[in-house]
Amino acid sequence: MNLRTETNKNKFPSISAIVIAKNEEKKLPDCLKSISWVDEIVVVDTGSVDSTVKIAKGFTSKVVSYTNGGYSQWRNEGLKHSTCRWVLYVDADERVSQELKEEILKLVSIKNPEVCAYAIPRKNIILGRFMKHGGWWPDYVKRLFLREKIKGWKGDLHEEPVYEGNINHIQNPLIHIKHDNLSEMIVKTNKWSVIEARLLYNSNHPKMVGWRFLRIMLTELWLRLIKLRGFMDGSEGVIYSFYQMFSKFVTYAKLWEMQLNSKYSELKDKN
């Protein structure tokens, strides 16, 4: 598939789009179509066993296989293989709208930009609904960088970019198809809660006991459902608020399990 035309390439500075994907054969095509206007697409495949790689190769010759580490390492790997002046990060479940495309092209056309990084709002579609409450809007994410100013990414769970210079905010959002169904949500929670629990364990989190579980769960539910008005997003908002409480429970239950296993190991070593 052709990317930007030669006319547009001469008019605007070059842009590399970096996409991280694993087993995304259903969502990847729409993602790649939405960024087909950039000069270069780099897809970092992190171990797909479906047709993700085949689909990616239909859009770009730069498909990199890299399974080590997590999102920070994957984003850094994509950066290594990019060559353009600006770098745009897009996940496989995200889409760049026509309005966002035009805004990005306008911003990168500035010859001597004072701003080297941009945060983009995300329009989160959860269970088929655009979530306007519960803390899910505008959900800014740092995704567009002047390549010479971004040094890389760090962090195991909520990765953050390391860059030099000023950051600004873009108005038009990324479309984020966050969760299609409850089964998908549970699979992702089971995966990422292990990492989050390990980070809590390594930070010497206080011992998990009954009252802590109740406090953490009720605090999360009150935050999402009441304070951030998740109930205003209808049934989907109520379900997702309760789901966030459940997700917190799973994370801290795994932390409890790690703490318990550590205690047993210490007792075994003493004996």
In percent, the amount of the chain with pLDDT more than 90 equals: 86
pLDDT per residue as tens digits for the range 189-223: 999 999 999 999 999 999 999 999 999 999 999 99
C-alpha count within 13 angstroms, C-beta hemisphere, residue 24: 24
* pLDDT score recorded for residue 7: 40
Domains and CATH numbers, the chain: 6-178 (3.90.550.10), 181-270 (no CATH)
| Sheet of strand 86-91, all strands in order from the earlier edge strand to the far edge | 62-65, 40-45, 15-21, 86-91, 141-146, 115-120, 166-169
**What six digits make up the tokens of 200?**
């809590």
Q: What are phi and psi of 65, to 5 degrees?
A: -95, 120
